[in-house]
Amino acid sequence: MAVEFEAIRTEPAYRKVAEALMERILDRTLSHGDRLPSETELARQFGVNRSTVREAVRELQGNGLLGRHRGSKLLVVTRPETDHVAEGVSRALVLHDVTYRDVWEALIILEPPIAEAAARRRTEADLALIVAAAANFAARNEDTVSAAFHATEFFRTVGAATHNRILMMGHEPLLQLLDSSLQDMMDKVPQSRARIVTAEKRILEAIRSKDAEAARNWMTRHIRDYSKGYEIAGIDLLSRLEG
């Protein structure tokens, strides 16, 4: 049998420029906040047109790796913000037809150990943010959109208290999906709000006292309660989440 080869891909020049810049950013030759040469100077160094550099810069800006300070034309190296990265991931998950059960199972796997780690590692500043998130939900849960936002924000502040950047970055797409699923449930089960207030209070008390086991157990009960809420609301856990 004759051996067949795939055609060699010829990448556009702007992509090669973008990859060269990205390599310097990822190996820390260019660090967060460092200024880049002007587009004219970059074009000279790479031996390409300014339009090619501009296209490469646009791609890296879209990925959150380059930016400009307000009112300035100077390019600086930036870090992708967590919510910027998460939005792309959560959109991709919706397009992959994730279900309510997918979200619930991910929550039951991730949230209890996150609460446990938060109880062990939290600082006084972390605790203040968790207290504020719980208070905001208790005070502003009549409107469904607001209630879902503040319920999600409680998880977000607990996650931040772990001081684990990978957990926080991986956590955010799930929380964005949780927000929309909670709105669907709370619309049909208004009594869920009181149960969430109670659960957040118990989790907060455990984190305040640095009781890792209690934080984990109460978070587990809290997530299981969400599943009951979906059942009471008549939501099929195998139905797809909408964006």
What tokens appear for 44 in the block?
């000279």
Q: Would you place residue 194 in the very low, low, confident or very high pLDDT band (cuts 50, 70, 90)?
A: very high
Q: Is 29 exposed, middle or buried (0-12, 13-18, 19+ CB in 10 A)?
A: exposed
CB contact at 8 A, 78 and 38: no
Q: Would you place residue 1 in the very low, low, confident or very high pLDDT band (cuts 50, 70, 90)?
A: low
State in Å, rounded, how far the first CA of the chain is from the last one.
49
Domains 13-77 and 82-233 share a fold: no
Superfamily classification of domain 82-233: GntR ligand-binding domain-like (1.20.120.530)
Instruction: Say how many C-beta atoms besides its own lie within 10 A of residue 142's C-beta.
Output: 9
Strand (E) positions, 15-144?
A: 66-68, 75-77
What tokens appear for 207 in the block?
């984190």
- Residue 35 phi, psi (nearest 5): -85, 140
Rounded Cα gap, residues 140 and 144, in angstroms: 9
Rounded Cα gap, residues 53 and 59, in angstroms: 10
pLDDT, tens only, 9-60: 778 999 999 999 999 999 999 999 999 999 999 999 999 999 999 999 999 9
Q: Is the pLDDT of residue 215 over 90?
A: yes
Rounded Cα gap, residues 225 and 195, in angstroms: 8
- Mean residue pLDDT of the chain comes to 90
CATH number of the 13-77 domain: 1.10.10.10
**Contacts of 115 by beta carbon, 8 Å cutoff, 6+ apart:** 158, 203, 206, 207, 215, 216, 218, 219
Q: Over the range 32-55, which residues count as b (16 or more CB within 10 Å of their CB) and which as e?
A: eeeebeebeebbeebebeeebbeb
List Cα–Cα distances, 197 to 106, 150, 192, 219, in angstroms.
22, 11, 9, 13
Residue bearing the bigger pLDDT, 195 or 9: 195
Domain boundaries defined on the chain: 13-77, 82-233
